[in-house]
Structure 1
Amino acid sequence: MAIVYKCRHCGQEIGKLDQQMLDTSMLGLDQLSSADKRDMISYETNGDVQIKSICESCEESLGNHPQYHELDYFIQ
């Protein structure tokens, strides 16, 4: 089982942790609301846990173009 962080905007893999046991409190996932958990965390058929986040490039783009926050997807 792996914990895979992917950018919610461009789909780039940000990082991957190979773990046999998942401690959500160590990752801070227990601090998320139920709605945020549903939006950010998915469980893959191979047992991996995928967490949607934002990569540095997309974060920079949002910082430079705040109007992009209004869009569901700003990467075409």
Structure 2
Amino acid sequence: MAIVYTCRHCGLKLGEIKEQVVDTTVLGWNKLTDEEKREMIQYKENGDVQIHAICENCQESLGHHPEYHELDYFIQ
């Protein structure tokens, strides 16, 4: 099992945790609302977990263009 972090906007792989047992409270998942969990966490058929986060470049773009928050995807 692996936990793979990817940018929700550009798809960049941000990181990966390859452990059989992971304490999700250490990762902060317990601080997410149910809606945030549904939006961010995707369980794959192979047992991996994909986390949709945001990379620094996309965060910077959102900071410069706040209207992009209205869009599901702002990278064309």
Q: Return the offset for 1:47.
A: 0.9
Deviation at 1:22, TM superposition (A): 2.1
Alpha-carbon distance in 2 for matches of 1:9, 1:20: 28
Runs of 4+ displaced beyond 4 Å? none
Q: Distance in 1 between matches of 2:34 and 2:4?
A: 20
Identity of aligned residues (%): 62
Q: Distance in 1 between matches of 2:53 and 2:27?
A: 13
Aligned partner of 1:74: which letter?
Answer: F
* Number of the residue aligned with 2:38: 38
Count the aligned residue pairs: 76
Report the TM-score, using the length of structure 1 for normalisation: 0.94
The TM-score with structure 2 as length reference comes to 0.94
CA deviations over 1:18-70 (Å, ceiling 9, x no partner): 11102110100011111111111011111111111000110111111111112
The AA in structure 2 aligned to 1:40 is M
Task: Name structure 1 gaps, 5 residues minimum.
Answer: none
- Ranges in structure 2 where 5+ consecutive residues have no aligned partner: none
